[in-house]
Amino acid sequence: MAERMSQDLSEALKETTKEVHEQAENTQFMKSFQKGKVSLREFKLYLASLYYVYSALEEECERNKDNPVYAPVYFPTELNRSASLEKDLEYFYGPTWRREIQCHKATQKYVDRLHHVGQDEPELLVAHAYTRYLGDLSGGQILKAIAQKSLHLPTTGEGLAFFNFPEITNIHKFKQLYRARMNAIPMDAVTEKRILEEAKRSFLLNIEVFEELQRLTQGQPSANGNAVQPKLELRTRGTNRSHSPVAAVENERAQMQHKDMLPSTPLLRWVLALFFLAMTVAVGLYTM
């Protein structure tokens, strides 16, 4: 067997993907998300894209569950996301969600890579599982809180099943276990290097998806040349309108209109405030 690298796989993965992680965080889509500026339309497209990605990833994890190059990190009960994404998509798109969503080009590229890896280079599958699942258990938890607040989603969790891991009681400990399992996968130095490269590739595939989402929601032509305007109308099963995405959109619109009515510069606001103050004093003096 060829020489094994000195550093643990988990440490090497973290180090190697640091730069692409920053790149992913700094995509326009993720920056808007972090600022709480993600629109409902963007969020719905994001979930739809994730659904295709996780369906492919989990199909390949299932295929390789007994393969020693993947088996140690096979945690379907704790990690699988496809079923929770199905719930979220039904919440946002309604019962016909399967007909409403589509797999856009960058997502399809990611899906194709996952199938290729799962079928032809299964030793690289751990890189994809790492990128998505450890990401969901890390930054994903921050995004959950932001999405809930900015889209006014119910605190009971509807529409956010993707971000919830009910089978994991302690996320920090689970991540430690996951890292230990990754480190226990038998591999030589050449394979480890290929896994590190694949992890970077996986981040880049995610970045391409975010960039495509951005283009789609801006109504600009997508990479395949089609200007895609996703549907805005919403169907939800939620009975509490104030918590529904519809209410969120209405709220968003109302907030925008409200903002439009206010003077845009602080100076103008001061002048207006002084004007009203002077008027109040004048009326007071007049009525005395």
Residue 24 near ligand HEM by CB under 6 A: yes
Burial class of 252 by CB neighbour count within 10 A (0 to 12, 13 to 18, 19+) = middle
Q: Which of 23, 32, 34, 183 binds ligand HEM (CB under 6 A)?
A: 34
Residue 21 near ligand HEM by CB under 6 A: yes
Query: In terms of residues, how long is the chain?
Result: 288
In the numeric block, which tokens belong to residue 43? 């969020």
Shortest Å distance, C-beta 189 to ligand HEM: 20
In the numeric block, which tokens belong to residue 21? 């992680």
Residue 145 near ligand HEM by CB under 6 A: no
Q: Which is nearer to ligand HEM, 131 or 191 (CB)?
A: 131
78: number of CA atoms within 13 Å, CB side?
17
Give the x/- contact pattern for ligand HEM in 100-139, rule: CB under 6 A: ------------------------------xx--xx--xx
Residue 80 near ligand HEM by CB under 6 A: no
Shortest Å distance, C-beta 251 to ligand HEM: 23
When computed from its CA atoms, the radius of gyration of the chain, rounded to whole angstroms, is 24
Shortest Å distance, C-beta 263 to ligand HEM: 33
Q: Which is nearer to ligand HEM, 171 or 223 (CB)?
A: 171
Give me the residue whose beta carbon is nearest to ligand HEM.
Answer: 139
In the numeric block, which tokens belong to residue 167? 């089978």
Q: Which stretch binds ligand HEM (CB under 6 A): 26-34, 61-69, 78-86, 264-272?
A: 26-34
Q: Which stretch binds ligand HEM (CB under 6 A): 29-37, 75-83, 111-119, 280-288?
A: 29-37
Q: Which is nearer to ligand HEM, 127 or 243 (CB)?
A: 127
Residue 28 near ligand HEM by CB under 6 A: no
Q: Which stretch binds ligand HEM (CB under 6 A): 27-35, 39-47, 79-87, 115-123?
A: 27-35
Residue 30 near ligand HEM by CB under 6 A: yes
Q: Of 180-239, which residues contact ligand HEM (CB under 6 A)?
A: 203, 206
Residue 16 near ligand HEM by CB under 6 A: no
Q: Where does this chain bind ligand HEM (CB under 6 A)?
A: 13-14, 21, 24-25, 30, 33-34, 130-131, 134-135, 138-139, 142, 203, 206
